[in-house]
Amino acid sequence: MASREHGTGPTGGGGRRPSAVVYRRRRLAVAVLGLLVLMALAVGGAAMAGLFGGQDGAGDSSAAASTAPGLSASRTPPSASATPSATPSAAPTPTATSTAAPGASPSSSGRCDSAAVVVVAATDERTYSPDETPVLSLIIRNSGTTPCTVNVGTSQMEFVLTRGADRVFSSIDCQESSEDLDRVIEPKGEERATFEWARNRTVPGCTVVDGEPQTGEYTLTTRLGARSSAPVTFTLQ
């Protein structure tokens, strides 16, 4: 009688069933792989959230900076503006001082009668050493009995220096501009304009003149409008 060979597989094939140990190792490997995938997803999500969060924070900071009071996107430094230098003049402007009453004003009185206006020339010294600058004065006095108004501006005044027949200097030769200045002078009061002479020579039109005034005696005459002073003398050493 013929014999039968029994197979070892469940279906009668030639394969062998995996043992329980192999099944446990496979399940452990799958669990570890799944855990690694979850960890990678978690880390990637946190990084993306941080990236978008940083961008939102930067936008909020920019908005805050643009809306904060007193701030601006750019600060432009103030530009420095150069002050034009004044053109030097051979004849500086005389400086006027007054002894009129404090409450007087040009509108409180009429014009002075020409006969009441006295013009006087004066110097601060009679003799000047080589390093001294003569200070010349033009004095306007009211010899009348009532306050009156006088134009004491540079448009009316002149300082003239002569040495014998030589006309040495005039304050209007190089005067660049002039102005009117009304002042009320009280009876027996005065206005005084002072002028520092730089020991230079001038001619009408302010043409350059060679040479400087020499030592010796000089005569000063001052003028206000049509009225002139008596001459006074001083000496340059």
Q: What is the pLDDT of residue 18?
A: 58
Query: Which is the CATH superfamily of the domain at 95-236?
Result: Immunoglobulins (2.60.40.10)
Angle at alpha carbon of residue 62, lines to 59 and 68, rounded to 5°: 135
Per-residue pLDDT tens digits for 62-115? 433 333 333 333 333 333 333 333 333 445 567 656 554 444 444 456 999 999
Domain parsing of the chain, residue ranges = 22-68, 95-236
Q: What is the pLDDT of residue 30?
A: 64
- Whole-model pTM: value is 0.58
* Residue 51 banded pLDDT, cuts 50, 70, 90: very low
* Residue 167 banded pLDDT, cuts 50, 70, 90: very high
Compute the average pLDDT of residues 172-188: 95
How many whole angstroms separate alpha carbon 60 and alpha carbon 8?
A: 74
Q: Residue 190 above 60 pLDDT?
A: yes
Interstrand relation of 232-236 and 127-128 (parallel, antiparallel or unpaired): parallel
Q: What is the pLDDT of residue 88?
A: 34
Q: Residue 15 above 60 pLDDT?
A: no
Q: Residue 7 above 50 pLDDT?
A: no
Residue-level length of the chain: 237
Q: What is the pLDDT of residue 212?
A: 87
CB neighbours of 158 closer than 8 A, spacing ≥ 6?
Answer: 170, 171, 172, 222, 223
Compute the average pLDDT of residues 30-58: 58
First and final C-alpha spacing in the chain: 171
Average pLDDT in the chain: 75
Could you give the 3-state DSSP secondary structure of residue 61? helix
